[in-house]
Chains A and B, each alone.
Chain A
Amino acid sequence: MKKENRKKHNTSAIANKNQRRAVQKYAPIFLFPTFAAFCIGFVWPFLQGIYLSFFRFKTLRNIKFTGIDNYIAAFKDQQFFKSFLFTVVFTAVSVILINVIAFVIAFALTKDIKGSTVFRTVFFMPNLIGGIVLGYIWKIILDGVIYRFAETTLELNSTYGFWGLIILMCWQQVGYMMIIYIAGLQSIPSTYMEAARIDGANGFQLLRHITLPCVMPSITICTFLTLTNSFKLFDQNLALTKGNPAHETEMLALNIYKSFYESTTNMGVGQAKAVIFFVLVVIISLTQLYFTRSKEVQE
């Protein structure tokens, strides 16, 4: 896949020098607006963000260089570490649950069921609802249930808060992953199945030795999608529990946000945490790249 792209990439440039010059004259119209906005909206804030993580500041008018003090403070911050652990546990549970549920539903829906397109439409729908609205829908419902049976609320009990977040994530993400799995399942050539069946494979063996290996690419994609989505979760966390009780359900993104906007002394720690968070996300993405690449070698 990638190699093919690269080959095409070379041919997608204009070969004739004069013609290319003629196109290059239009750079101010074609490239400049995006490039300028990109610098304002991404490049400059990104560089300034890294720069500021080495300073102690409350406003940008008054910054003081402190070296890696902010990073030390971030690593010493108990709450930051707890948030990291909570995020990791939450991510692990949600990745497994979402993928298993999505796969089972996709598997069932690819068998001939009446109205399977209607079911797909229904399962996919929550994906379109934004995090904040989604969070409040579930907050109202779950609080109603929990209050009736346990006389507590999501914001008072961290166990309920955790599972509330998991339920919410499943509701939102299962449909999306299901569609990817359905596409993967439908691309398996039926001849494979027939051949295995003639060889006397039973249902479980078919699943284990034909279906699963064939949808491996979909599994990789879905795993990493759910991984990054859960790891970077913010809106839903803010809307559902706000990190309560006592920061126990606070995920990394929310912790960083709070270190910025609820801190009265030094915002630099928040920026340092953000850089650490960024590095973690990059590590996940690089692992993803490695896994998708190594698959291609096998094929």
Chain B
Amino acid sequence: MAKKLNKKKMGSGILTAVFSLLSLIWVSPILIVLMNSFKKSGGISLFPFEFPNAETFNQFNNYINGITHGNYPFYMSMFYSLIITVLSVALILLCTSMAAWYINRVDSWFCKMVYYLCIFSMVVPFQMVMFTLSKTANMLYLNNPVTISIIYLGFGAGLAVFMFSGFVKSIPMDIEEAATIDGCNTLQTFFLVDAPVMKSTYISVGILEIMWVWNDYLLPYLVLDRTKYMTIPIHIQFLQGSYGRVDYGATMALIMLCLIPIVTIYVICQKHIIKGVLSGAVKG
């Protein structure tokens, strides 16, 4: 018995070692980028896997170059990415939660139709509406970082309405009736009674939508007026595509700048993030 236990312990020890190694391999791409972001461009293309030495070490110059230089400074892209994400996600959360509540409480034929249309929209690939959506957006002047949130609300409504509906169904009607008797009107009932109950769904949907909007490339690329506004993914793609000579050092630094906020936020609230991301998985 003791021997068996010992063997088990050893097995688990080996597994731990294997997984430590595997984890290291898993994060190594990011570490390599981090390492190279401190090297001069020549050092990167010649020796991408070596630590920066005295000759190739470039201090923070890559970061400074990447952020400020070029026809379009990177901090502008970060700023627009942030604005688009915050506005779009706020709008999506507010509007779709209200719509989902209304759809479930009123339940008329029209509401049902909207609900099934929303579910249908989750299946449609973006390429299907890519061209026509960008034309519509241009026509209606929805092509700047503030108004693009309306496009995001429209195209992202499906999943959000679906997820909120799932939760609204489980809210007991009694608490709403109690609020009505206490003299709340419909708006007050929703914001004072239902919204606080839906907090966890707000977090889950919020995380899903933040990840989508923050990382989205094609939609803002096609919709936004590219000469004036760029987001981080567009900027990174632009660095690679159109410049005659790619400044590898600056690119690495910029990739690192994209990763730092993501990784920081992930480490701080990973429980919510994993839960939120998973709740979106079980759709349909």
Contacts and interface: CB of A to CB of B under 8 A. Distances in A.
A183 B236 CA distance: 36
Contacts of B48: 140-141, 144
Contacts of A67: none
Contacts, number: 272
A232 to B, nearest CB: 5
Interface residues of B, number: 98
B106 interface: yes
B123 interface: yes
A278 B125 contact: yes
A270 B142 CA distance: 24
Nearest to A286: B123
A36 B217 CA distance: 24
Contacts of B142: 40
B12 A111 contact: yes
B127 to A, nearest CB: 5
B154 A42 contact: yes
Interface residues of A, number: 94
B183 interface: no
Contact of B26 (A12, A22, A171): A171
B26 A281 contact: no
A65 interface: no
B192 interface: no
A203 to B, nearest CB: 12
Interface stretch (B58-66, B70-78, B93-101, B195-203): B93-101
B240 A37 contact: no
A100 interface: no
Contact of A42 (B20, B158, B180, B263): B158
Interface of A: 5, 8-9, 11-14, 19-20, 22-27, 29-31, 33-35, 37-46, 48-49, 52, 60, 105, 108-109, 111-116, 118-119, 121-133, 136-138, 140-141, 144, 171, 176, 179-180, 183, 221, 225, 232, 234-235, 238-239, 253, 256-257, 260, 267, 270-271, 274-275, 277-278, 281-282, 285, 288-289, 292
20 contacts: A12-B168, A13-B105, A13-B107, A30-B190, A31-B99, A41-B151, A123-B23, A124-B274, A126-B26, A131-B215, A132-B237, A138-B29, A140-B33, A141-B48, A171-B29, A176-B281, A221-B281, A253-B127, A274-B131, A278-B125
Given A137-B30, A235-B233, A260-B130, 11 more contacts: A9-B104, A34-B161, A37-B154, A40-B140, A115-B16, A119-B22, A128-B211, A140-B251, A256-B127, A270-B131, A277-B127
List the 10 shortest-distance A-B pairs measured between CB atoms, nearest first.
A41-B154, A130-B215, A13-B107, A144-B48, A34-B99, A30-B102, A37-B154, A45-B132, A45-B129, A37-B153
Interface of B: 12, 15-16, 19-20, 22-23, 26-27, 29-30, 32-33, 36, 44, 48-49, 95-96, 98-99, 101-108, 111, 114, 117-118, 121, 123-133, 135-136, 140, 142, 150-158, 161, 166, 168-171, 173, 180, 186-187, 190, 211, 214-218, 232-233, 236-237, 240, 248, 251-252, 255, 258-259, 262-263, 266-267, 270, 273-274, 277-278, 281-282, 284
